[in-house]
Amino acid sequence: MILRALLRLIGEVALWTALVAIVAGAVAAGARWVLRRGEPIEPVVLLGAALVGALVFAGLSDRLGLPQPVVIDIGRRPLPLVWVAGGALAGVVATWAVKTRMRGAQAPGRVSSSPGTING
């Protein structure tokens, strides 16, 4: 009986995590498509940032008791889709902002890694 309950719990957590990963992957893919004109950001980095943001926002919405307009119930665990998508988007935007800031922090006139060339 305990083993059955444990297996059910593991299955619910796996399904919950898979759905979060799917939402985060969709947001990361959309962001990659939108950001295709600028300096490229690795897809793995975008997916990781989206996944972390999605998990953080899902946890915060539950802990803070925020309203959850669209929820999928998986066993006894609600999946707040709006907060998951918003967190994934926040993670992607934060990654893009850091990447843009790092690119902008390079001062013009610095010597590049290849000999004989100067940036700027």
Please provide the DSSP assignment of 3-72 as one string. HHHHHHHHHHHHHHHHHHHHHHHHHHHHHHHHGGGSS---HHHHHHHHHHHHHHHHHHHHHHT---SSEE
pLDDT tens digits, 33-76: 877 766 677 888 888 899 999 989 988 988 898 888 888 887 77
pLDDT of residue 112: 53
pLDDT of residue 87: 92
pLDDT of residue 110: 53
Residue 115 has pLDDT above 80, yes or no: no
Domain edges within the chain: 19-100
Mean pLDDT, to the nearest integer, of 99-103?
Answer: 78
Cβ atoms of residues 87 and 56 within 8 Å? yes
Residue 88 has pLDDT above 90, yes or no: yes
